[in-house]
């Protein structure tokens, strides 16, 4: 579809000409960039992890614009973005981030919908009207009075979108909005975004590492590389049709149990509502066991129970590797305590006995050598994920507990993570992975447990699980295609010998 057909001639939502941006004391992230987004477009933005997508999107909303030096022209509607307007809020630009927990600020759904309107000084009559409108449009009425900490991940992300839409923006900017959503929640969220674009005429720009899920909604696509944007053919972003085959050479079918949960029950903090209700799990030594299910089904809670972070109200967890385990939480920032990437990788060197060559090798494998002097919080989300995994693998654990290890990663970064985990498992170690990435599950898992209604609904091999499901399916995407060429004599294997 020609995006110029979506709006009157010459109506431009975003215009950039020779625009450059650099963080203090750093090389330019964006360099001589040109960009034009016609009003009414639904544009996808792709690019490798750390290419600057988040930086560019944040520059569109002055309230979120990062500190740094900018040159050239960047205009949103008729407003030029400059250092002088940094920190000011532009209600014409809505922004939705990857993590809803980082964006939600109120303890109840109705208050979250009204919060932005209150800050803008909207009168009570108009506020009530707008809250009622967006609650109805997004189907929020049934959970309108709930606490935000009781919502699923999909509901939280939809609430973020609805709260921004209550401000009636003309441009909606989203940074990896579906990275933490299960396949069903992802489809529901994208349908809501599609309606905003087509029915309400809001211009949409989405940065994503999962373009194949959004191709049918988009009108155009661009790729950010080397600080510049270039057009991308939408058809080239579609997933392939070839079946995704397992990469495991020796699938673990039987063997000793490494970690086990027996009829455990765990409730939400300060409530009697159970997240897990008599849930059981047995993980065999030397296997990769995947936990799947909808947002809010209890995957993270079960992972924390296995790690000993949460204590069940009822039931028992037996973990023979408790003293030799490593746990990667959903937010990798919680592992960072140092002022540079290099210091993070060296933090446990004395306690675990690895060498300078070891941590430098991991930095090289995850393409972090050029980032060693940066503060970990200055990395992109994908780079933070890889840094956290490298830091844990340096400790040589025998049990690895991973919560969404490929979220927010481009295909190359995801394949780097998957290759590292594959070599780790093939060396005889054990992993439990909570994930929404069905391609990762099919490629690497020995067993899949589906969680539903607080319980383990079933446990099967990936082939058995994917043979009879219509919502959970591996995709022949760029990540899967890259993994087809994995060699077992690869750069990771020697790490675990």
| Distance between CA atoms of residues 464 and 443, nearest Å | 14
Query: Residue 2 — pLDDT band, cuts 50, 70, 90?
Result: very low
- Is the Cβ–Cβ distance between 75 and 62 less than 8 Å? no
pLDDT at 6: 43
Q: What is the mean pLDDT of the chain?
A: 90
pLDDT at 102: 84
| Distance between CA atoms of residues 220 and 37, nearest Å | 9
Mean pLDDT across 233-248 = 90
For the chain, give the percent of residues with pLDDT over 90. Answer: 69
Mean pLDDT across 222-234 = 95
pTM for the full model?
0.86
The tokens describing 393, both together, are 């693998």
pLDDT at 318 over 70: yes
Mean pLDDT across 260-273 = 86
The domain spans of the chain are 3-237, 257-496
pLDDT at 272: 77
State residue 442 phi and psi, 5-degree precision: -65, -35
CATH of 257-496, one of 3.40.190.10, 3.50.50.60, 3.40.1180.10, 3.40.50.300: 3.40.50.300
344-374 per-position pLDDT tens digit = 999 999 999 999 999 999 999 999 998 999 8
Residue tagged 């290419």 (tokens):
51
The second-level CATH assignment, the architecture, of 3-237 is: 3-Layer(aba) Sandwich (3.40)
**Cα first-last separation, the chain:** 53
47-104 per-position pLDDT tens digit = 998 899 999 999 999 999 988 899 999 999 989 998 778 889 999 999 998 888 888 9
Type and span of the H or E element at 362: helix 356-365
CA 164 to each of CA 91, 97, 106, 131, 230: distance values in angstroms, whole numbers, following the listed order: 9, 11, 14, 11, 29
From edge to edge, which strands make up the β-sheet containing 399-403? 325-328, 399-403, 430-434, 288-292, 447-452, 455-460
| Distance between CA atoms of residues 244 and 237, nearest Å | 17
105-159 per-position pLDDT tens digit = 999 999 999 999 999 999 999 999 999 999 999 989 989 998 898 887 788 889 9
pLDDT at 41: 96
pLDDT at 249 over 90: no
Helix axes 183-200 and 153-165, enclosed angle (nearest 10)? 10
202-222 per-position pLDDT tens digit = 999 999 999 999 999 999 999
The tokens describing 147, both together, are 């606490």
Query: Residue 182 — pLDDT band, cuts 50, 70, 90?
Result: confident
pLDDT at 5: 42
Q: Count CA atoms within 13 Å of residue 263 on its CB side.
A: 2
State residue 380 phi and psi, 5-degree precision: -70, 165
pLDDT at 8: 45
Give 207's contacts (C-beta < 8 A, 6+ positions apart). Answer: 45, 46, 47, 53, 54, 57, 174, 175, 176
> Is it true that 3-237 and 257-496 share their CATH fold?
yes
> 163-177 burial, b if ≥16 CB within 10 A, otherwise e?
bbbbbebbbbbbbbb
pLDDT at 256 over 60: yes
pLDDT at 269: 73
Residue tagged 């520059």 (tokens):
59
The residue among 81, 64, 63, 62 whose CA lies nearest residue 72 is 81
| Distance between CA atoms of residues 318 and 260, nearest Å | 5
CA 231 to each of CA 47, 48, 409: distance values in angstroms, whole numbers, following the listed order: 12, 15, 21
The C-alpha torsion from 299 through 300 and 306 to 310, rounded to 10°, is: -130
Strand, coil or helix: what is 17?
strand
User: With helix as H, strand as E and coil as C, how does 77-128 read?
Assistant: CCEECCHHHCCCCCCCEEEECCCHHHCCCCCEHHHHHHHHHHHCCCCHHHHH
> What is the 8-class DSSP label of residue 494?
G
From edge to edge, which strands make up the β-sheet containing 257-267? 274-284, 257-267, 314-319
- Higher-pLDDT residue of 318 and 24 is 318
> 363-393 burial, b if ≥16 CB within 10 A, otherwise e?
bebbbbeebeebebeebbbbbbbbbbbbbbb
């Amino acid at each position: 579809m020609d995006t110029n057909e979506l709006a009157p001639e010459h109506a431009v939502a975003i215009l950039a000409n020779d625009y450059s941006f650099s963080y203090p004391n750093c090389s330019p992230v964006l360099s001589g960039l040109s960009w034009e987004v016609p009003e009414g477009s639904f544009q996808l933005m792709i690019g490798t992890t750390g290419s600057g997508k988040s930086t560019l999107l944040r520059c569109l909303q002055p309230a979120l614009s990062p500190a740094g030096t900018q040159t050239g022209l960047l205009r949103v509607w008729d407003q030029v973005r400059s250092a002088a307007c940094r920190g000011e809020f532009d209600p014409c630009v809505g922004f939705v981030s990857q993590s809803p927990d980082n964006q939600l600020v109120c303890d109840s759904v109705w208050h979250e919908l009204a919060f932005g309107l209150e800050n803008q000084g909207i009168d009570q009559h108009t506020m009530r009207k707008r809250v009622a409108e967006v609650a109805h449009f997004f189907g929020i009425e049934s959970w309108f009075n709930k606490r935000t900490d009781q919502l699923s991940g999909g509901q939280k992300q939809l609430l973020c979108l609805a709260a921004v839409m209550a401000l009636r923006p003309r441009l909606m900017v989203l940074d990896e909005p579906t990275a933490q959503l299960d396949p069903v929640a992802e489809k529901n969220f994208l349908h809501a975004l599609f309606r905003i674009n087509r029915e309400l005429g809001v211009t949409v720009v989405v940065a994503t590492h999962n373009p194949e899920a959004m191709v049918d909604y988009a009108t155009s696509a661009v790729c950010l590389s080397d600080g510049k944007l270039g057009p991308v053919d939408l058809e080239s972003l579609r997933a392939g049709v070839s079946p995704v085959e397992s990469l495991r050479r020796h699938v673990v079918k039987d063997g000793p149990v490494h970690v086990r949960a027996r009829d455990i029950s765990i409730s939400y903090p300060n409530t009697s509502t159970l997240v897990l209700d008599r849930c059981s799990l047995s993980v065999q030594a030397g296997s990769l066991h995947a936990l799947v299910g909808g947002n809010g089904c209890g995957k993270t809670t079960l992972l924390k129970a296995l790690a000993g972070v949460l204590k069940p109200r009822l039931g028992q967890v037996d973990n023979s590797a408790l003293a030799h385990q490593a746990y990667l939480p959903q937010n990798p920032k919680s592992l960072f305590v140092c002022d540079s990437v290099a210091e993070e990788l060296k933090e446990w060197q004395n306690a675990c006995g690895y060498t300078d060559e070891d941590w430098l090798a991991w930095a090289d494998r995850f393409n972090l050598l050029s980032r060693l002097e940066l503060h970990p919080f200055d990395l992109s989300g994908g780079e933070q994920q890889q840094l956290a995994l490298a830091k844990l693998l340096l400790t040589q654990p025998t049990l690895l507990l991973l919560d969404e290890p490929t979220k927010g990663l481009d295909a190359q970064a995801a394949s780097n993570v998957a290759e590292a985990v594959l070599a780790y498992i093939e060396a005889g170690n054990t992993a439990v992975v909570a994930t929404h990435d069905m391609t990762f599950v099919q490629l690497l898992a020995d067993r899949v447990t589906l969680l539903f209604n607080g319980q383990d609904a079933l446990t099967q091999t990936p082939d058995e699980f994917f043979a009879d499901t219509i919502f959970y399916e591996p995709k022949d995407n760029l990540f899967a295609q890259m993994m087809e060429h994995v060699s077992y004599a690869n750069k990771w294997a020697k790490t675990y010998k």
